[in-house]
Structure 1
């Protein structure tokens, strides 16, 4: 492994750590504000943070001289806005389901159930004629076993929070496929900036209708909101973009999937949330499924992507 790959691997690992700890920030934030308020404010903060990042990237990679807007540029801008809006809408629904679900489950369980998107994405890829390899199907079986131990109680009922997080994982899977389509055509950082503002605007509607937040609540929750907005949305996404350059996508996905493990450790260290033996077994099955789903296979075109 050369120096560049080592550096990028560290950046991706740092991204996974930031995302894993973000589950704690999301949980703590619920002590002060409602889920729609938290998601709305963190989204706007994430979008605002990316604006200077975009300006810096534009200075480092200036547009070639010539002036004027070419037809192809106009088409690209249109795709950028369409992609940003589509991603923002899906991010809004996925984030809201996740944020509400975290109110009713532990951060460790939320992290592993959310990571189920790594299994769902290649399965959804079947609708786009992307075949799944043997490892993915084995991963599906292991993930189902893991979800059973992780979410289903001894009375064969699923907890409300776990169900919401599972819906969130499905929505994030669709979100990833949308990103996978548009990032081949537009600037990923600019599209992410747009999606954050779209998500914030959409979340503002239920926030004003159902929660009516005030400045006192927001100031009380400033730490988790700033962490989720700046670190999780802004910094981590930028690190992911930089870290994935020149890296094998499979290796990158494996490193990023460590966010599920970090969420368990963060919940234990910071919030003193402990998993039962049954839930720990479920996490172990889920982690094996996540790893298997990302292993390279010959002659199989997988739909793979990392969280955004």
Structure 2
């Protein structure tokens, strides 16, 4: 193993952790924005801006598109876009806390899908980390429980997000991460754009919303998914899923620091369990 590859293996988990932090921050930033612009219109604008920014920044990326990359990137983008859509549909029908927990179940679904379709062998220690992270997510998110249409829709989104993680773990190695990200986000833009047009697309109403759109498009979408695509070439899909559960922890932390919210003992314990699960799996597989 070359020194460069060893460095990549060490950097990948921390790069993915930075992605989780950006997504956690996005929750706080997006909350007031989607009160002034319809959710699907916001998502469509975000994905379109992300794709345009990536192409403008590196026009040569279009020359790297080939049949294999477009097919694989489109399928990954279909899973990703479907995840966002079903999550949004579910959120409209159930509470935000339960939505957060059910979405986070991709940490359980990812190793199951990887085991079934990729024949990955999941070790007992890894399952322990998965269970620990799931308990932490439940403590972070749940303030009661009911099962209905909303929960079912969010569960479908969790399946889609897990499939996206597994797909990238299978295909990201050997493909250009930048070009693969462009294709994925283009599919997301098409899916969310079609839905928002059907609902009556709304443009961002003011400079504040435009600022959130641009930040989430560039930092939380374009840069984040480039990093995720690159990172997944250097670690297992299950390890990726556990690290990404830190998104919920960062969201709670930023809500306290910048949103003026308070943490209960239950939420604090939940966050600690997720952090422990992330730390154990990263250190064990480092």
Q: Which TM-score band (shorter chain)?
A: 0.7 to 0.9
Q: Distance in 2 between matches of 1:270 and 1:101?
A: 26
- Deviation at residue 233 of structure 1 after TM alignment: 0.9
Q: How many residues align?
A: 276
Q: Distance in 2 between matches of 1:189 and 1:236?
A: 11
SS of residue in 1 equivalent to 2:218: helix
Contact 1:39–1:203 under 8 Å retained in 2: yes
User: What is the TM-score of this pair, normalised by structure 2?
Assistant: 0.76
**Over aligned residue pairs, what C-alpha RMSD do you find?**
4.0
- Deviation at residue 170 of structure 1 after TM alignment: 2.6
Q: Identify the match of residue 139 of structure 2 among 144, 149, 160.
A: 149
Contact 1:38–1:225 under 8 Å retained in 2: yes
Q: Distance in 2 between matches of 1:277 and 1:225?
A: 34
Deviations 1:219-268 (A, max 9, x none): 552122111111111223345567x4997779x95776543332111122
Q: Identify the match of residue 48 of structure 2 among 44, 47, 50.
A: 44
Contact 1:39–1:96 under 8 Å retained in 2: no
- For 1:138, the equivalent position in structure 2 comes to 128
Between Structure 1 and Structure 2, which shows a larger proportion of helix residues?
Answer: 2
Deviations 1:125-168 (A, max 9, x none): 110321111112223432443344344445x5369877765543
Unpaired stretches in structure 2, ≥5 consecutive residues: none
- For 1:15, the equivalent position in structure 2 comes to 19
Unpaired stretches in structure 1, ≥5 consecutive residues: 64-72, 299-308
- Deviation at residue 36 of structure 1 after TM alignment: 1.1
Choose 1 or 2 for highest CA Rg: 1
Give matches, 1:186-225, under 5 Å.
186-210=175-199, 212-215=200-203, 217=205, 219=207, 221-225=209-213
Give matches, 1:16-165, under 5 Å.
16-55=20-59, 77-99=66-88, 104-105=95-96, 110=100, 114-127=103-116, 128-154=118-144, 156-157=145-146
In 2 relative to 1, CA 288–38 (structure 1 residues): closer, same or farther, beyond 3 Å?
same
User: What is the TM-score of this pair, normalised by structure 1?
Assistant: 0.71
- Deviation at residue 203 of structure 1 after TM alignment: 1.1
Q: Distance in 2 between matches of 1:277 and 1:106?
A: 16
User: Which piece of structure 1 moves more, 271-280 or 38-47?
Assistant: 271-280
- Deviation at residue 123 of structure 1 after TM alignment: 2.3
Contact 1:54–1:190 under 8 Å retained in 2: no
In 2 relative to 1, CA 225–92 (structure 1 residues): closer, same or farther, beyond 3 Å?
same
- For 1:173, the equivalent position in structure 2 comes to 162
Contact 2:61–2:179 under 8 Å retained in 1: no
Q: Distance in 1 between matches of 2:150 and 2:263?
A: 15
Q: Distance in 2 between matches of 1:31 and 1:239?
A: 29
Contact 1:27–1:102 under 8 Å retained in 2: no
Q: Identify the match of residue 277 of structure 1 among 249, 265, 275.
A: 265
